[in-house]
Amino acid sequence: MIQNIPSSVPFMKMHGLGNDFVMIDARDGVLRISDATVMAMADRHRGIGFDQLAIMTKCENTDVHLTFYNADGSTAGACGNATRCVARYIMNETEKTDLMLSTGHGTLLAHDVGDGMTAINMGQPQLTWQEIPLAHEVDLDALPIDGAPMATGMGNPHCTFFVEDAEEIDLATLGVLFEHHSLYPERTNVQFAHVVGPDHLRMRVWERGVGLTLASGSSSCATAVAAHRKGLTGRKVRIDLDGGTIHIDWRKDGVWMTGPTAHVFSGVWHG
């Protein structure tokens, strides 16, 4: 990350199901930002507060390019809810109903499904140990970790536990423990989920580089993929998170995620 920043930066605060983001529109220039600035912005007491920062820049082949940073200053290859927020912002700006957005994970398609709901195709999951990545070859459907969680890649690594009651899990303790498990050389997002009914899951999330979150788009996709692989659900799943409900559909062309977004406020950051 480059170590110089402008003296002031306009931003927007948005969220998807309580998974909150700061959006910076840098399509008209080059934004240089430091790790320290990202963490200062992320501070919920002295800064703006966010789970991820999303920076929009120009791209010749898509509507916009997105770069994501976690609250601890680390980069994230994918962030589903932030991508939905940016897509909604650009749809409102351009009146387009279909967009292409480029990220570190690849090119993602967005679609306005009406009633304020935005769908994103997060692409196909990564289902080999090298792609996720893991430290070595293991059974992805039953990792050699207490609880035999499942491993999935969605442009970032995921570790999904299926339990009797996700509400009873001490996520603050277990989340940080498994985020840093040696099997995941790049750390991992951690999910605990249980089956509510046919094609209906309850899930709670610990995000790498962030901690406890009310929702996570890529985690929802990874959990839906894992649930289908495990035979718990079909390919189309409703997931109830702490921040609300999201809908996941694992189709032939990728994993589609559909849910609401909201603009909270706009402002200017003075560095």
Q: What is the CATH number of the domain that holds 83?
A: 3.10.310.10
**Residue whose entry in the numeric block shows the structure tokens 């997060």:** 122
Mean pLDDT of 254-264: 97
Q: Which of 67-76, 84-93, 170-179, 239-248 has the lowest mean pLDDT?
A: 67-76
Asked whether residue 142 is assigned to any structural domain, the reply reads: no
Residue 166 has pLDDT above 80, yes or no: yes
Question: What is the number of domains present in the chain?
Answer: 2
Residue 17 CB-half CA count within 13 A: 26
pLDDT of residue 4: 47
pLDDT of residue 2: 39
107 and 158 in a common domain:
no
pLDDT of residue 6: 58
167: containing domain: 150-252
Mean pLDDT of 206-222: 96
Residue 31 has pLDDT above 90, yes or no: no
CB atoms under 10 Å from CB of 117, counted, come to 15
Asked whether residue 180 is assigned to any structural domain, the reply reads: yes
164 and 85 in a common domain:
no
240 and 215 in a common domain:
yes
Asked whether residue 130 is assigned to any structural domain, the reply reads: no
Question: What is the share, in percent, of the chain residues with pLDDT greater than 70?
Answer: 97
Mean pLDDT of 139-167: 97
107 and 42 in a common domain:
yes
pLDDT, tens digit (0-9, with 9 covering 90-100), for 57-100: 999 999 999 999 999 999 888 889 999 999 999 999 999 999 99
Question: What is the share, in percent, of the chain residues with pLDDT greater than 90?
Answer: 89
Residue 30 has pLDDT above 90, yes or no: no
Mean pLDDT of 182-204: 97
- Give CA–CA dist 1/212, Å, rounded: 25
Handedness of CA 160, 165, 167, 170 (dihedral sign): negative
pLDDT of residue 271: 72
Give 23: exposed, middle or buried? Use CB within 10 Å, 0-12, 13-18, 19+: buried
pLDDT, tens digit (0-9, with 9 covering 90-100), for 100-142: 999 988 899 999 999 999 999 999 999 999 999 999 999 999 9
33 and 116 in a common domain:
yes
169 and 79 in a common domain:
no
Encode burial over 90-103: b for 16+ CB neighbours within 10 A, e otherwise. Answer: bbeeeeeeebebbb
Identify the bridge partners of residue 67 per DSSP, sorted by sequence position: 55
Average pLDDT over the chain, rounded to whole?
94
CA–centroid distance for 44 within its chain: 19
pLDDT of residue 104: 85
244 and 264 in a common domain:
no
Question: When comparing pLDDT for 4 and 172, which is higher?
Answer: 172
Residue 43: band (very low, low, confident or very high) from pLDDT cuts 50, 70, 90: very high
81 and 19 in a common domain:
yes
